[in-house]
Amino acid sequence: MTRVHDMGGRFGDGAIRPEPEDAPVFAEDWHARALAVTLAGGALGQWNIDISRHARERLAPKDYARFSYYEKWLAGLADLLVQQGVLTRDDLADPDAPSGHDPHPLADRALRADAVAATLAKGGPADRDGPAPSFAPGDRVRTRARAENVFVPGGHTRLPAYAQGVTGTVVLVHGCHVLPDSAAHGRGEAPEPLYAVAFGAHDLWQAPEGSGDEVVLDLWESYLERAE
Amino acid sequence: MPHDDPDHPHALLPPDPALRVKALETILTRKGLVDPAALDAIIDMYQSRIGPRNGAQVVARAWVDADFRARLLSNPMPLLRDLGFYGRQGEHMVVVENTPQTHNMVVCTLCSCYPWPLLGIPPGWYKSDAYRARAVREPRKVLAEFGVELPAGTAVRVWDSTAEIRYLVLPMRPEGTDGLGVDALADLVSRDSMIGTGLPARPEAA
Chain B residue numbers with beta carbons less than 8 Å from the beta carbon of A149 are: none
CB distance A74 to B21 below 8 Å: yes
pLDDT digits (tens, 9 = 90+) for B112-152: 999 999 999 999 999 999 999 999 999 999 999 999 999 98
Contacts of A62 (CB under 8 A, 6+ apart): none
Instruction: Please judge whether A127 and B92 are an interchain contact, meaning their C-beta atoms are less than 8 angstroms apart.
Output: yes
Among residues A64, A91, A122, which one ends one of the domains?
Answer: A122
A145 in contact with B, Cβ within 8 Å: no
Model confidence pLDDT, tens digit, residues B182-198:
999 999 999 999 999 99
Query: Is position A129 within any domain?
Result: no
- Regarding beta strands A192-200 and A214-220, do their DSSP bridges make them parallel or antiparallel, or are they unpaired? antiparallel
Q: Using an 8 Å Cβ cutoff, are B143 and B171 in contact?
A: no
Query: Is A218:A132 a contact under the CB 8 Å cutoff?
Result: no
A209 domain residue, yes or no: yes
- Shared-domain flag, residues A149 and A202: yes
Q: For this complex, say whether ipTM is above 0.85.
A: yes
- Going by pLDDT thresholds of 50, 70 and 90, the confidence category of residue A97 is confident
Verify that A144 and A117 share a domain, yes or no.
no
The reply to whether A41 and A105 lie within a common domain is: yes
Dist. CA A58–CA A4, nearest whole Å: 8
Query: How many domains does chain A divide into?
Result: 2
Q: Residue B205 carries which DSSP code?
A: G
The pLDDT of residue B1 = 42
Per-residue model confidence (pLDDT) at position B2? 40
- Which of A122, A148, A174 is where one domain is finished? A122
Please report, as a single letter, which amino acid is at residue B69. Answer: R
User: Using CA atoms, how far apart are residues B199 and B177, in angstroms rounded to an integer?
Assistant: 14
Residue A8: which residues within 8 A CB-CB, separation 6 or more? Answer: A160, A161, A162, A163, B107, B109, B110, B132, B133, B136, B137, B160
Structure confidence at residue B5 (pLDDT): 64
For residue range B32-75, list pLDDT tens digits in order.
Answer: 999 999 999 999 999 999 999 999 999 999 999 999 999 999 99
B59 versus B1: the higher-pLDDT residue is: B59
CA dist B101 and A147 (Å) reads 32
Residue A9 counted as domain residue? no
Residue from A4, A25, A169 to probe the interface with B (highest B Cβ count within 10 Å): A25
* Domain of residue A218, CATH code: 2.30.30.50
Domain ranges of chain B: 15-48, 51-205
Q: Which CATH number do you get for residue A59?
A: 1.10.472.20
> Is A94 inside any structural domain?
yes
* Claim to verify: residue A173 and residue A219 sit in the same structural domain: yes
Residue A77 lies in a domain: yes
pLDDT tens for A108-126 read 999 999 999 999 999 999 9
Do both A76 and A107 map to the same domain? yes
* A149 and A206 assigned to the same domain: yes
- Its domain, for residue A179, covers 140-226
**pLDDT tens for residues A45-86?**
999 999 999 999 999 999 999 999 999 999 999 999 999 999
Q: Does the structure show a pLDDT above 80 at A153? A: yes
List beta partners, residue B157.
A214, B104
B87: left (phi over 0), alpha (psi -120 to 50) or beta: left
Following DSSP, what letter does each residue of B1-60 receive, concatenated? --SS-SS-GGGGS-SSHHHHHHHHHHHHHHTTS--HHHHHHHHHIIIIISSHHHHHHHHH
Residues A176 and A209 in one domain: yes
CB contacts, 8 Å: B192 with chain A: 18, 21
Average pLDDT for B65-93: 97
Domain B51-205 has CATH 3.90.330.10: yes
Distances (CA, A) of A59 to A34, A52, A75, A107: 17, 12, 8, 28
Residues of B marked as catalytic: 108, 111-113
Supply the mean pLDDT for chain A. Answer: 95
Other beta carbons less than 10 A from residue A130's beta carbon? 18
| Dihedrals phi, psi of B10, to nearest 5 degrees | -60, -25
Share of chain A above pLDDT 70, in %: 98
Mutate to test the interface with B, among A1, A2, A33, A111 (most CBs of B within 10 A): A33
Residue B166 is predicted with a pLDDT of: 98
pLDDT score, position B3: 57
Q: Which chain B residues are Cβ-neighbours of A174 within 8 angstroms?
A: 92, 94, 163, 165
Task: Please indicate, yes or no, if residue A21 is contained in any of the structural domains.
Answer: no
